Structure 1
């Protein structure tokens, strides 16, 4: 489940919460731009006993697009084999996704690994229903990265 919204500092953010354990989440926040070629943002990972933050993830306009990656996941709501991965050009953030189906777990596992400049890693895994939840996440990420209102 995603929660687009405004944080206390009035800046847009997107929080991706695990549907099985809402205390596990990934938040994209504190977006800013220096120029027309990039957008900078922070990523926070939270889980019981874990809080990690990468302060300056950079998305370049010529880089592979996080929004396109999440849109591809949403389009694959019937599932796929293996793992799909995306990472920033600077390798500060990596997202991996696998599709699992079964009686209790149908949907998508999205794991975020934030490394940062010091290359210390932290990761969380969130479960999501395939389909509408992923389509909503893709729209939320697009609005966050572009600064457009939904």
Structure 2
């Protein structure tokens, strides 16, 4: 899962591309919009990192347009499974979806991911 081509049109949102890669799969959405005034992805990931001792069930985060969704599960042994799903134009005929699941250690790896995503999505552009 890679964030790319971050840009912003205004102070209320950040626009970025998302690419998913796995054996036999490559999928990309060139423009995902995340609104600053909503609970953002970085906050969601930081909360998961803070709950390193685990939780029951599944949590999820999505953009307003639902073109990017992240859901998680906590497994014994301290691992978090993050499923990253792309669904561009979810109401269009002939739409598509793709997802990959990444597994991270609940503590440091989750905290590192949250910090990397914050850095990527809040980076000031020239």
TM-score, normalised via structure 2 length: 0.91
Query: Are residues 1:100 and 2:87 paired?
Result: no
String of CA shifts for 1:52-92, please: whole Å, max 9, x gaps. 00110001111221011000110111110000100001101
Q: Does 2:62 align with 1:87?
A: yes
Superimposed CA distance per residue, residues 83-109 of structure 1 (whole angstroms, 9 cap, x where no aligned partner): 01000011010000000014xxx3100
Q: Which runs of 5+ in 1 are unaligned?
A: 1-25
Q: Which residue of 2 aligns with 1:116?
A: 88
d(CA) in 2 for partners of 1:100, 1:61: 31
Q: Tell me how far apart the structure 2 counterparts of residues 84 and 37 of structure 1 sit (CA, whole Å).
A: 25
After TM superposition, list the pairs within 5 Å mapping 1:32-111 onto structure 2.
32-102=7-77, 106-111=78-83
Computed over aligned residues only, the root mean square deviation of the Cα atoms, in angstroms, reads 1.1
Give the unaligned 5+ runs of structure 2: none
The answer to whether the Cα contact below 8 Å between 1:64 and 1:88 also exists between their aligned partners in 2 is no
Could you tell me which residue of structure 2 aligns to residue 134 of structure 1?
A: 110
Other structure's SS at 1:63 match: coil
- What secondary structure is seen at the aligned counterpart in 1 of 2:85? strand
Aligned-partner Cα distance in 2 for 1:37–1:68: 16
- Secondary structure of the corresponding residue to residue 72 of structure 1: helix
Secondary structure of the 2:32 match is strand
Matched residues in 2 for 1:27 and 1:124: separation?
11
Q: CA deviation at 1:145?
A: 1.0
